[in-house]
Structure 1
Amino acid sequence: MTSPDQSTLRRAIVTPDAAPPTGLSDGHGRPAGRRFSVYRNNVAVSLIDALRSGFPSVAKLIGEENFTNIARLYARDNPPDSPLLMHYGASFPAYLDGFEPLSHIGYLADVARLEQALRRAYHAADSTSISASALHDMSLDSLMNSKVILTPATILLHSNWPVHAIWAYTLDPGNSPKPQATPQNVLITRPEFDPTPAPLPPGGAEFIVALMRGETFGQAHTHAAATTATFDLTRTLGLLLSGGAISEINMKNDHEQTVFKV
């Protein structure tokens, strides 16, 4: 009896109403039948549980039953490409974007992107961070001419929705204010190995994007101030430092380059 190829087996595992592939046996030469159905159900439950663990606020926003049904559909069309279920669901936010029955919840996919970013930050490579004291001996001119290297766990999320406020209020309504109709960009960092999202002040995202492009503090500040007249450099830099987002500051002038590390 010829065993099914991997693609056929994979499709059958994630398709609830598919017949067991021809060639599978139960170990005693009999067709797999019921045993395959039990295995398929266990796989489906594991994938749904992985999604529920990774996207808890999404599950709360739409309800457990709806989430289970959507997660089952997603798992059917998006089988895992890694044995590590902690990474499963990377495309789930984009899937929600195109899921017509939930199109009236415009912010849902961005909430999922925030939760996915938290997972990415948690599993990012370790890196040491500089402390605020590393800046104490730097003049403003030196700082403005410096470039930074951000830690691998530092992620920037852009949203047209109050995504951080929705996420926080959904998970902890008793200790979080009700979301206001204001777009939010969110900085995700990992201080003390615990991913933390923080809403950025106006212009903060533009400043950080410029730093990520390799611009100096001064160039990034000019760019942010050009887009937002009220840009607050102190507050934005404070969020980067308190979140342990900066691993190096490279101060360069005509004569030398100094690298500040921990």
Structure 2
Amino acid sequence: MVSPALPSPADGRFAAACLDAGLPVPDGIACPPGERRERRFAVYRNNVVASLIGALGAKYPAVAAIVGDDFFRATARLFIAAHPPRGPVMAWFGAEFADFLAAFPPVAGLPYLPDVARLEALALASFHAADARPLGACDLAGLSRGQAALRRHPAAFALRSPWPVLTLWRMNTGRAPLGEVDDWRGEDVLVVRPGLDVAAVNLPPGAAVFLDALDHDPAAAAAAALAVPGADLPLIVATLAQAGAFAAPETTP
């Protein structure tokens, strides 16, 4: 089907035509005698779009479960047209999906959906994050003597949401029975991968703020966390440490 004169993958016209049925078949596309280029390229285009829809569904299974397969596929087609892949690594494709959903009128009645998508994106980011040894009990002595400082594990991410996103995510990924959500209060969630598996856990008040502030100003992280109503600093540090949200010191004291 493809002749030696096919444009290079860097040619934006070829990539655009793969995603937009309204564009003409790119120059350099050949086919056997008696076949129509348009028909054969349409098959290729459909396969490309179907593959991208599949990749998006694999990244956002809870969103797909909430809205249903037909609705998700139709939404994904619109998203792909507006945000095509920017590179060959499919793990990073779809990063804009949560923001797309937040501005997508057909899901306005599901205001929690963008945060469910954000949680799923953080789970994938955690899975692909750099490895680091999580903080262990033997490291705490060095911290107490001031020989090292708390630092975030590279696979640890926090999400603050006004919706019960962790509950919804668990229900719609088979991690919890599907049923009515009795408590619609917001949830702060930690996504982390201290070993090989990604985990998501509820955080106490102030913990997400503490973890995020740790990156910018460790000295102010405690103050920022304690400004959150109901925050308990020892509980925050213990919860985050037990979940593997802190990385061990890079050098042994």
User: Normalized against structure 1, the TM-score is what?
Assistant: 0.83
Distance 1:4 1:85 in 2: 22
Count of residue pairs brought into register by the alignment: 247
Distance 1:233 1:247 in 2: 18
Q: Identify which of 53, 59, 68 aligns with 1:54.
A: 59
Code of the aligned partner of 1:154: A
Distance 1:244 1:82 in 2: 32
Paired residues for 1:10-49 under 5 Å: 10-26=15-31, 32-49=37-54
Does residue 202 (structure 1) correspond to residue 202 (structure 2)? The answer is: no
Does residue 167 (structure 1) correspond to residue 172 (structure 2)? The answer is: no
Paired residues for 1:47-196 under 5 Å: 47-136=52-141, 139=144, 142=145, 147-172=149-174, 173-174=176-177, 178=181, 180-196=183-199
Secondary structure in 2 aligned to 1:150? coil
Equivalent position of 2:218 in the other structure: 215
Distance 1:232 1:105 in 2: 32
Contact 2:157 2:191 in 1 (8 A): yes
Residue 28 of structure 1, CA deviation? 6.8
Distance 1:119 1:236 in 2: 24
Equivalent position of 1:253 in the other structure: none
Residue 245 of structure 1, CA deviation? 2.2
Secondary structure in 2 aligned to 1:148? coil
Residue 57 of structure 1, CA deviation? 0.3
Structure in which a larger fraction of residues adopt strand = 1
Contact 1:169 1:178 in 2 (8 A): no
Secondary structure in 2 aligned to 1:39? helix
Secondary structure in 2 aligned to 1:13? helix
Report Cα offsets for 1:230-262 as digits up to 9, x if no partner.
Answer: 322333223322332222359xxxxxxxx557x
Equivalent position of 1:236 in the other structure: 236
Q: 1:221 to 1:179 in 2, by over 3 A?
A: farther
User: Normalized against structure 2, the TM-score is what?
Assistant: 0.85
Paired residues for 1:239-254 under 5 Å: 239-249=239-249
Distance 1:113 1:29 in 2: 49
Code of the aligned partner of 1:132: A
Contact 1:121 1:190 in 2 (8 A): yes
Distance 1:74 1:91 in 2: 9
Residue 226 of structure 1, CA deviation? 2.8
| Structure 1 runs not aligned, ≥5 long | 251-258
Code of the aligned partner of 1:234: P
Contact 1:58 1:111 in 2 (8 A): yes
Contact 2:142 2:148 in 1 (8 A): no
Residue 19 of structure 1, CA deviation? 3.2
Percent identity (aligned): 32
Report Cα offsets for 1:19-47 as digits up to 9, x if no partner.
Answer: 32344222779763222111111111110
Secondary structure in 1 aligned to 2:247? strand
Q: 1:36 to 1:138 in 2, by over 3 A?
A: closer
| Structure 2 runs not aligned, ≥5 long | none
